[in-house]
Amino acid sequence: MRSVYLPPWRVDLTIRNGVQLPIAGASLARSIAAALAVAKAQAPASIGLILSDDTELASLNAAHLGHRGPTDVLSFPLLPPSAFPAHDGEPADRRRDPSPAGFALPPGRRPHLGDIVVSVERAIEQALEGRGGHTGTVRWSPADELRLLVIHGTLHVCGWDHAEPLEESAMRALERGLLGR
């Protein structure tokens, strides 16, 4: 693991053995920092990014979501959505508490927001086969697909979801905007 400092955030980057990246880890960390900024995540804070393969994602998908087979990205937030500001498209009935939630930390320690696990293998396959961009119809570089997945995972850590159509539309627009930076 290595840490990439992008004040006020720290991205703890883990690349599993055998995983070959189509983009520098520091570039992915910058995409995460940009997503944290637009989601107005508390700062300073840390977030973990684990770059893995289909085998690990299939195992995590089964253990945590009860789904068979691999997926491209999973997020493991440590704070409830109420720890983040309300956002566009969010259902009105989702209760928000403006105070940040979490554990009391010793002075000088930054809270950890959560972890994102991405199958680089799946990202590359989706991009090359024209099944990327969350729509399953985008053909672009594996680097762009991987950037999209880490942005998507970061937004989930920050309380965003795409179960409701308005929130999904707002989340997709935000992802496209972040990719354009």
Spell out the domains of the chain, with CATH numbers in brackets. 2-86+109-179 (3.40.390.30)
**Which tokens sit at 146?**
């991987």
Burial grade of 80 (CB within 10 A; 0-12, 13-18, 19 or more): middle
pLDDT tens for each residue of 23-42 = 999 999 999 999 999 999 99
pLDDT tens for each residue of 31-90 = 999 999 999 999 999 999 999 999 999 999 999 988 999 999 999 999 988 888 888 888
pLDDT tens for each residue of 106-139 = 777 889 999 999 999 999 999 998 888 877 787 8
Whether the pTM exceeds 0.85: the reply is: yes
Is the pLDDT at 95 greater than 70, yes or no? no
